[in-house]
Structure formats: structure tokens, C-alpha cells
Amino acid sequence: KYRSGTGHFIDENEIEKRNPLQLTDMIRAVPGVQVIPTPRGDTPFMRGGQAILGNGICRPEVFVDGARVVNDPMFPFNSTVPMTEIRAIEVYPHPALAPAEFKTLSGCGSIVIWTGARQRK
């Protein structure tokens, strides 16, 4: 189950078409998301939130199959789930756009990853 709010949705057809190497390759062009190189690899950031860096951006909350993942800045974002296991992605660049189950406590946006086999077309 996905597509539950008013965010940006990337379905399995788009993933297959773009054939990305990393998760950040899929969300880099989503409005409201900035992918920034860090010592732990490319990391997504969004505007706002309480965990604000010097330039007004924060790390979004991450959910995998509906469960919140610990948002540890030391963990490489692209290691969250291998691209081969990702079926769909929901991106909510602002918490007001997210459905209740993906609202964040930090005031930052959220990224929801759905796993499972993609249909090969």
C-alpha cells in the first residue's frame, strides 16, 4: 500500500525506467529535496524542521514499509535499502503534506520506501 498523501510518488515503472544506482538518484529531482554530499555519502535534506543546519535545512524522517527508521546522521542514507529491493518511494518535502502515519516530530519532511519485487515489463 502506498500513495497515501499529497507528496511526490515514484512508482516501480519510474524506478525501472530510470534504473538508478542509489536511492538518492531517484529523489534528487524531487521539488523540495536537496541531495548533498557528506562524509557518509549523498544525503537528502529538506527545508525547515527543528534539526536545522546552518543553511536552514534538516534531515527528513525515513520510513521503510510503514515503520520509522532511526534517523542517524552517521548512517549512510543510500544503505537504508538496496535499490534492487525498492518497489516505490513517497516523498513529503513538508510535514503538512504527509498523511498522519508519516508525520514527523522534528518538523522536517519524510521519505517513505516500500520494498518488494517490482513487475518487470
Sheet containing 34-38: give its strands across: 34-38, 41-47, 57-58
3-class state of residue 60 by DSSP: coil
Quick: pLDDT tens for 47-69.
766 555 556 788 899 999 999 99
Task: Please list the ranges in the chain whose pLDDT falls under 50.
Answer: 1-2
What integer pLDDT is reported at residue 9 of this predicted model?
Answer: 93
Burial bucket for residue 53 (CB in 10 Å: 0-12, 13-18, 19+): exposed
The predicted model scores a pTM of 0.86
Cβ(12)–Cβ(88) below 8 Å = yes
